[in-house]
Structure 1
């Protein structure tokens, strides 16, 4: 099974999710450090759609200026544009497999995709 994780190595939850994936022999894993290689707007929109969440639900508040920028109350297009311009606003980790996509907080949510 193929899996892609949008990963931030500074994030404990992201590191724990990555460790779960790395410990499974059946996984062909792609790791994308999204702060260095951010997803396109289209890819990000697709990930949220496939995960069944809105961009607002995928918005990282803690450790960002999202609240000061009014993003929690903004429309989806505004949030996606902000995330593409400043990927630190993307909550992590997002994991995509052939079974779907999930924002893996807590990290055990990744097991639902395997």
Structure 2
């Protein structure tokens, strides 16, 4: 099975999710450090649609200025635009497999799509 993780190595939950994926020999893993290589707006929209969550549900609040910018109450389009402009606003890790997409918080959520 192929899996892609949008990863931040400074994030403990992201590291734990990555470890779960790396320990499965059946997973062909692609790791994307999204702060260095952010997803496009179209890719983000697709990931959230496949995960059946709104962009606002995947907005990182801790350690960002999202609340000050009014993003939790903003439209999906405004949130996506802000995430593309400033990828630190993307909550992580996002994992995509052929079985779906999950925002893996907590990390064990990844097991739903393996």
TM-score greater than 0.5 by the shorter chain: yes
Aligned length: 114
Structure 1 gap segments, 5+ residues each: none
- In 1, distance between residues paired with 2:77 and 2:41? 9
Partner of 1:88: 88
Mapped pair 1:54 → 2:54: yes
Alignment of 1:13-28 (within 5 A): 13-28=13-28
Moved over 2 A (4+): none
Partner of 2:41: 41
Deviation of 1:32 (Å):
0.3
Structure 2 gap segments, 5+ residues each: none
- In 1, distance between residues paired with 2:3 and 2:19? 13
Secondary structure of the residue aligned to 1:10 is: coil
Deviation of 1:27 (Å):
0.3
- In 2, distance between residues paired with 1:74 and 1:61? 13
- TM-score, length basis structure 1: 1.00
- In 1, distance between residues paired with 2:98 and 2:5? 13
- In 2, distance between residues paired with 1:29 and 1:73? 35
Deviation of 1:19 (Å):
0.2
Secondary structure of the residue aligned to 1:77 is: helix
Deviation of 1:101 (Å):
0.1
- TM-score, length basis structure 2: 1.00
Partner of 2:2: 2
